[in-house]
Amino acid sequence: MRRSTVIRTGLSALLLLGTWATAGLAPATAASPAPEEPASAAMLTAMQKDLGLTPSQAETRLATEKTATAVEGKARRAAGSSYGGSWISSDSGKLTVAVTDRAKADAVRATGATVRLVEYSASRLDAAKKRIDGLTAPDGVSSWGVDPTSNRVVVSVVTAQKNDKDVQAFVAKAREAGPVTVQEIAAPIRTTAAGTVGGDPYYTGNVRCSIGFSVQGGFVTAGHCGSVGASVRGWDNTYIGNFQGSSFPENDYAWVNVGSGWWTVPVVLGWGTVPDALVRGSNEAPVGASICRSGSTTHWRCGVVQGKNVTVNYGNGQLVYQLTQTSACAEPGDSGGAYISGDQAQGVTSGASGNCTTGGTTFYQPINEILNRYGLRLHTA
């Protein structure tokens, strides 16, 4: 937040995802606690709109996903080396765990998970994906990552370039690395930074991006939005802080210190269309879980987690590893914005294909990796 003598109205009044800019407010740490609202209020509202659910269906889905998230760690330990991945079923909302060893099935079921027997373990698929990471990817190859539901490494190619010789050569070498399937996408994946637009959240140079999550002393965002030392300005063009750490490509994360009258609070903005969401932790949601993201261009959008440990090719040899893929759309300017599942922080927006008119696919950098990399502590309610 930043202290101000003028109350600014409209969306441009909100600088941070997790920060308000309004008059006369004391820092959240000094304020009297407000009555607690349901942590999932923002997601319930948006899920009804974006996923076509009734209020009761949205509530049921969040409840079952919370249970599935709690079960996942136990089920993975029970599966041991035969673990082949896990995901939340879109039909039942229960966690499904893939195993290669039938003898492990009963132990996994005892944790509350459903079991599917598969051919390849997660370690085998991860090893194949790592070998593909070592290849030189042409721009027509957009991404690749392990898909537990198909028990394969999925390589995505741009439809218009699928017959390109370099693309075909890459796919052939990828198939040599292990069990691979190929899918087509309509457009390349691009980072979602944007040129300066007056009245929108934060700027560095001539780039506009979105803040992710408040941490003690600052906030996290996308690495492609600025390099170490770059100055950051807020909605009112006043100085906030500087990039203290930044990594892109290979990773896509950064953190910015907050000072000069600004402070942080554990909130993800709903942009007036849904209630603001409190952040209470960073437990990682499974594949198939509902997820929502907030950004300064397209505001609040929801979808599901589609895959993890995905390598994305942003072109010109710029690869980013270990991203999570979702069906929540994004557009330029949303880079760095927050992904949240229930009241748990998940990550910050890296890039996307498509848009929020026709639909698209997005990728985020997981939050816990960022916190661990820089020794940061998430600001929680």
What residues are labeled active site?
224, 252, 335
Closest among 276, 290, 300, 342 to 210, alpha carbons compared: 300
Pairwise CA distance, residues 240 & 39, whole Å: 28
Name residues whose C-beta falls within 8 Å of residue 218's C-beta, 6 or more positions apart in sequence.
241, 244, 255, 256, 257, 258, 264, 376
Q: Which residue has the tokens 């390099």?
A: 227
First to last CA, the chain: 16
The residues pairing with 83 across neighbouring beta strands, listed in sequence order, are 99
3-class secondary structure, 303: strand
Pairwise CA distance, residues 211 & 257, whole Å: 12
Backbone angles phi, psi at 256, to 5 degrees: -125, 135
Helix extents (H) in 178-213: none
Residue type at 84?
G
Query: Residue 124, exposed/middle/buried by CB under 10 A (0-12, 13-18, 19+)?
Result: middle
Pairwise CA distance, residues 78 & 157, whole Å: 36
